[in-house]
């Protein structure tokens, strides 16, 4: 079964600094991968997704992620953090070609400090 591992349950960065949130997947074939953001007391919002097209995926709010098969990784980055980026971020996976369920990681809480 596919799964994802998010390294670091809490990440703290300074405003204007690089954001790097890590996600590694476990699958024998490249799956579809997603990053979601969850603000306090809200549902999940899709940031971006990889579905076997370009390996560098650009999403909303300046975020991007690169699919690296050799490293089984799909890390999320943003060049310059903003206070409004403080939230919880979830990496998720589904089967190659699409699946009817998303399997989520345990999440990374991003804190942005002045």
Partner 1 sequence: ETGVTQSPTHLIKTRGQQVTLRCSSQSGHNTVSWYQQALGQGPQFIFQYYREEENGRGNFPPRFSGLQFPNYSSELNVNALELDDSALYLCASSSTPLFDSDTEAFFGQGTRLTVV
Among 28, 29, 53, 56, binds partner 1 (CB under 8 A): 53
Q: Examine residue 40 and tell whether it contacts partner 1 (CB under 8 A).
A: no
In the bound state with partner 1, the residue whose beta carbon lies nearer, of 72 and 103, is 103
Q: Could you give the CA distance from residue 107 to residue 23 in angstroms, rounded to a whole number?
A: 10
Q: Could you give the CA distance from residue 76 to residue 64 in angstroms, rounded to a whole number?
A: 6
Among 32, 63, 67, 74, binds partner 1 (CB under 8 A): 32
Q: Examine residue 7 and tell whether it contacts partner 1 (CB under 8 A).
A: no
Closest by Cα among 13, 2, 18 to 75: 18
Task: Give, in degrees to the nearest 5, the angle at Cα 113 between 111 and 114.
Answer: 160
Can you give the binding site for partner 1, defined by CB under 8 A? 32, 34, 36, 41-46, 49, 51-53, 90, 92, 94, 97-107
């Amino acid at each position: 079964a596919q799964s994802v591992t998010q390294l670091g349950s809490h990440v703290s960065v300074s405003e204007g600094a690089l954001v790097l949130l890590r996600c590694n997947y476990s699958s024998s074939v490249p799956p579809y991968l997603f990053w979601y953001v969850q603000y306090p007391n809200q549902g999940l919002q899709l940031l971006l997704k990889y579905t076997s097209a370009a390996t560098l995926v650009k999403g909303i709010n300046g975020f991007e992620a690169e699919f690296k098969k050799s490293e089984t990784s799909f890390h999320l980055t943003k060049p310059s953090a903003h206070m409004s980026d403080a939230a919880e971020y979830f990496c998720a996976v589904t089967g190659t070609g699409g699946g009817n369920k998303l399997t989520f990681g345990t999440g990374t809480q991003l804190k942005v400090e002045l």
